[in-house]
Structure 1
Amino acid sequence: MNDIHSIAQMEHLLLTSMYEISRELNSSLNYCESTSRVLRILHEECGLLCGILAIKDVARNIMLVKSVHSPYGENSSVDTNVSYKAGEGIIGEFLLQNSTIVIRDLSRDMRFANKLALYDYTKPFICVPLKDAANHTIGALSAQPLYSSDDYISVLCRFLEMIASLIAKNVLLAHQVENKQVQLQKERDGLRRKVRNNYSFDNLVGHTQAMRQIFEQVRLVAKWDSTVLLRGESGTGKEVIANAIHYNSSRASNAFVKLNCAALPDNLLESELFGHEKGAFTGAVKQRKGRFEMAHNGTIFLDEIGETSPAFQAKLLRVIQEQEFERVGGVDTISVDVRIIAATNRNLEAEVANDSFREDLYYRLNVMPMQLPPLRERLPDIPDLVDFMINNLSKKQKRKLSITDAALRVLMSHSWPGNVRELQNTIERAAILTESGVIDQNVISFPDKPSISMPHAGQPPQQRSAVHQPVTELGRFAPVDERQAVIDALEQTGWVKAKAARLLNMTPRQIAYRIQIMNIDMKQL
């Protein structure tokens, strides 16, 4: 700056510096760091010495020094011990006003408080406000001009005001991002607490011996990273147990990724679990992470693992064994740290014997097997389960719900082929049907799904008969047996649906529904 002889030269130099300053401010959301570099540019290139950035602390109503450029090479950043109260020093004045302050002679201004001991009292001093969109002061930017000429001071003052405007935008953006991050962290922590409460041990309901044993196993296995295989009929609560294991483990703060293996064919299942590279197949327009990558340092829950094909099981075996894989269409090996919980309602031992499930994968998954009992084997747990479900429904429907003893007796007498899931649906259906909030036996209903008794082997078709089954026997027989019984009844009655329905103690609508869903071809006689 010593070779500057004209205002035009100074303005040209300041314009060049403006570009560099803008680039520094756009390089980071940490305004303290970027402003420190800006203050250095102002000092070394623009003739604005010993710059200070002070930001208003609204809670304490003070101006807090955030960045300083020292001519002694000691660039102090974020010295929170230096602050100015309202009316204290020139910077403190900006808590009372929001207009630029120019001091021609520091030695004659009693307001000046040189707390940092940086300034030359024989030179002028400029302090400009940082303002938000509402013209409120959010901080102050100050520096000491190298030159005392009124023309130079006027140019430098306007320039410093422009720099203050740029810094203000940077500060506001940084505060917005910080506030958003704090808000997201609070929401995240709140959701984590809610999820952990939802899947805490207190929410595992049941007091029968079988369930107490399951709960004890959950407590023990949650401490370690061993692979868990959850077994049991559909609707017994395998996913609830998987949630309890994850959210009570050391991985609870990391991802819990779920995938129903029965919902996708092998080619899509591979892409879903392992991800794919761009162009790996038609429609792969960009790289995509798989579920295993998403679950890194967390847990992955593979539901219906018994539904996968042996070809896919071979690929899955490597991930479980080595904790590494390649994306579809990729060559780079990706290593992950994932805890695996699998679930199935199939008899895997029989599947292994039939060569439909790989024996090596079975042993890899069967490290910690947990057999969940069907609800019909834990009927004493029904009152506790019902109370738990009614409390949850009461919160959901925002009303008080209760159940009578008569309704409980009806629930206790049912065989529950759909297990806990069926019980939950039954309770919700009953709650919808009651206006008073008291669930009585008259609103308890079960799906219209009568079972059909099968004839003894060797009995002629014309002598076969069906016996109406009580509600507690619904769903006792497999669908293939039901289908054959319907066909036999139709054959016996000359393929007249109404007569076959009477023979089976059904309504014409019920038998027509079964004919449709069982794909029975009606013969025309």
Structure 2
Amino acid sequence: MSTSTCSTELRVLLAISKVIDQALDLESALESILKILSDTMSMRRATVTLYDPLSGRLAISTSYGLSALEKQRGVYRMDEGITGIIFRTAKPYVVPDISLEPLFLDKTGTRRISQERISFVGVPILLHGSPIGVMNVDRVFTGQEQLDADTEFLTVVATLISQFLSLNEKVKKREAALKQENTSLKYQIARENHGPYIVGKSQAMLEVEQYVAKVAITKATVLLLGESGTGKTLIGRIIHELSDRKTHPFIKVNCAAIPENLLEAELFGYEKGAFTGANSTKPGRFEDAHLGTIFLDEIGELPLTLQSKLLRVLQEREFERIGSNKTRKVDVRIISATNRELEALVGHGLFREDLYYRLNVFPVHVPAVRERKEDIPRLLNHFQKEMEREYGRSLTLTTGALDLLLAYDWPGNVRELENLVERLVILTDDKPVEAELVRGFLTPETHRPGPARHAPEPPAHPEQEDYCQPLKETERREVLAALKRNAWIQYKAARELNLTPRQMGYRVRKFNLEELIAKGRVDHRRQQS
């Protein structure tokens, strides 16, 4: 090797060593290295191709002398072409004249027109002895001796690149660990300063807490699943508070509480004069949530007419207000919640399958209270303290009253428990709460200790059970009739019966009407078409 060649290579290594401060911006660092090789060693094209464990393929990560489209074409199977051979064998590969090499695929399409004899040198990028990628360069052929020297030198450069990659990966892992630690600290601070936090140490709730901590620091769309009253809104708030968006709005929208004809305007806004009563321009809730989080509760109640518009927001982060052709962009994280089986709704044609998969990126099941009864004492203690601050009164439960609460199945979940504690605090005037008082507030079918709700004990007074059964059947028929009159739309039926949407939802579940409603909606649509 000539003195001039050694001098050039030393200058190249010195220039590459100065790029070390760009190591955290990996793409920029690799581009700088490839540019140095091109400028100082007359290399025409150069690529760094890395192994992608998700796809199991080799793909060009960084290039010099390739367009974006040419770079995009550079994807190889492990058994494909020279790049695959270099990776599998972990050995260099030299082609003195690429026009004579049948294994040379030229997938990028960059070498089709050339009047000169182009040589190719490829070397593996090794980390701890195992291949993690391939470095390839092209240059005008100047002799076999030069090719041998290039191969040795590029092997050294590939070693430096592997260290860049290793350093970058370590920093990423450290950053992820620090983010996780930061999330845990913020959650602990929230507990100590009466911020939002999960009450309970059951295994089921510890799993929810772990999921929340992991997903909060990401940008992922979250779907919270569980019965009404389990605390899905609280968990949505916690995810927002632990995320990078916490200084921006957290906007809550209950899709079941807003009439269908008003929901589009509420979500996406409208322009002045867009419809009767639109006396001024009003931004929608998505615009209100810009840079923050929007929480879409009861997402299973979203009408089909709006589902396509929500899908577009999820995919493109854009929409138009009612009465406007101007496309608006928003940066919003979407957290949705439902107490319904969305997959069943998809099967009945009531929920778009593509929207379901977009929402279901990171599902979190929030367990019912009956699935975590060991948390009831903690929940009671938490709500007792809250009510003491609110009303200035304490609450003491007798052993019998506590046993009754522990045996109860809590169909209304955490919300029902909180409401009961508040009621008892108001009624008892600091006196110990006896079991008889508590029993009067519990649903008869579930307050008795013993077998689960699915296998209830025979009634102590059969004649009383016979009397109650017709009342239940009458209520069921009234609910069904109201739903049928209102095209099986729950909030409309609720309004007719003077119920809130949540009260209607409770009755739907109580009487197992979900499938009837789904079938009724399908039949109604067929009649309308």
Q: TM-score, normalised by structure 2?
A: 0.50
Where 2:422 maps in the other structure, the secondary structure is: helix
| Count of aligned residue pairs for this structure pair | 288
The structural deviation recorded for 1:406 is: 2.5
Letter in 1 for 2:299: I
Q: Determine whether 1:218 maps to 2:212.
A: yes
Q: Which among 250, 262, 266 is matched to residue 268 of structure 1?
A: 262
Distance 1:316 1:229 in 2: 14
Aligned to 1:375: 369
Distance 2:199 2:366 in 1: 13
The structural deviation recorded for 1:305 is: 0.3
Q: String of CA shifts for 1:47-76, please: whole Å, max 9, x gaps.
A: xxxxxxxxxxxxxxxxxxxxxxxxxxxxxx
Q: Determine whether 1:232 maps to 2:226.
A: yes
Aligned to 1:504: 466
Give 1 or 2: higher helix fraction: 2
Aligned to 2:312: 318
The structural deviation recorded for 1:421 is: 1.1
User: Could you tell me whether the CA contact under 8 Å between 2:271 and 2:278 is conserved in 1?
Assistant: yes
230 and 520 in structure 1: CA distance in 2 versus 1, 3 angstrom threshold: closer
Distance 1:209 1:194 in 2: 21
Aligned to 1:420: 414
Q: String of CA shifts for 1:119-138, please: whole Å, max 9, x gaps.
A: xxxxxxxxxxxxxxxxxxxx
Aligned to 2:79: none
The structural deviation recorded for 1:425 is: 1.5
RMSD: 3.1
Q: Which among 283, 292, 314 is matched to residue 286 of structure 2?
A: 292
204 and 430 in structure 1: CA distance in 2 versus 1, 3 angstrom threshold: same
User: Could you tell me whether the CA contact under 8 Å between 1:449 and 1:475 is conserved in 2?
Assistant: no
197 and 267 in structure 1: CA distance in 2 versus 1, 3 angstrom threshold: farther
The structural deviation recorded for 1:433 is: 2.0
Q: String of CA shifts for 1:309-364, please: whole Å, max 9, x gaps.
A: 22211111001111111000001111011011000000011111111110000010
The structural deviation recorded for 1:263 is: 1.4
Distance 1:513 1:449 in 2: 18
Distance 2:450 2:261 in 1: 40
360 and 294 in structure 1: CA distance in 2 versus 1, 3 angstrom threshold: same
User: Could you tell me whether the CA contact under 8 Å between 1:431 and 1:439 is conserved in 2?
Assistant: no
Distance 1:406 1:354 in 2: 47
The structural deviation recorded for 1:441 is: 2.2
Distance 2:309 2:349 in 1: 16
Aligned to 2:239: 245
Q: Which among 383, 387, 392 is matched to residue 386 of structure 2?
A: 392
Where 2:209 maps in the other structure, the secondary structure is: helix
Q: Which among 330, 336, 339 is matched to residue 330 of structure 2?
A: 336
Letter in 1 for 2:206: R
Q: String of CA shifts for 1:450-477, please: whole Å, max 9, x gaps.
A: 45xxxxxxxxxxxxxxxxx864699958
User: Could you tell me whether the CA contact under 8 Å between 2:221 and 2:335 is conserved in 1?
Assistant: yes
Distance 1:235 1:274 in 2: 27
Q: Determine whether 1:402 maps to 2:396.
A: yes
The structural deviation recorded for 1:507 is: 10
204 and 195 in structure 1: CA distance in 2 versus 1, 3 angstrom threshold: closer
Distance 2:272 2:224 in 1: 35
The structural deviation recorded for 1:438 is: 3.2
Letter in 2 for 1:425: N
Q: TM-score, normalised by structure 1?
A: 0.50
Q: Which among 241, 250, 254 is matched to residue 248 of structure 2?
A: 254
| Structure 2: tracts of 5 or more residues without a match | 1-188, 455-461, 483-529
The structural deviation recorded for 1:429 is: 1.8
Greater radius of gyration (CA): 1
The structural deviation recorded for 1:242 is: 0.7
Aligned to 1:208: 202
User: Identity rate of aligned residues, in percent?
Assistant: 47
Q: String of CA shifts for 1:178-203, please: whole Å, max 9, x gaps.
A: xxxxxxxxxxxxxxx99994444xx3
The structural deviation recorded for 1:404 is: 3.1
Q: Which among 434, 438, 446 is matched to residue 444 of structure 1?
A: 438
Equivalent residues in 2 for 1:182-193, closer than 5 Å: none
The structural deviation recorded for 1:204 is: 1.2
Where 1:403 maps in the other structure, the secondary structure is: coil
Q: Determine whether 1:303 maps to 2:297.
A: yes
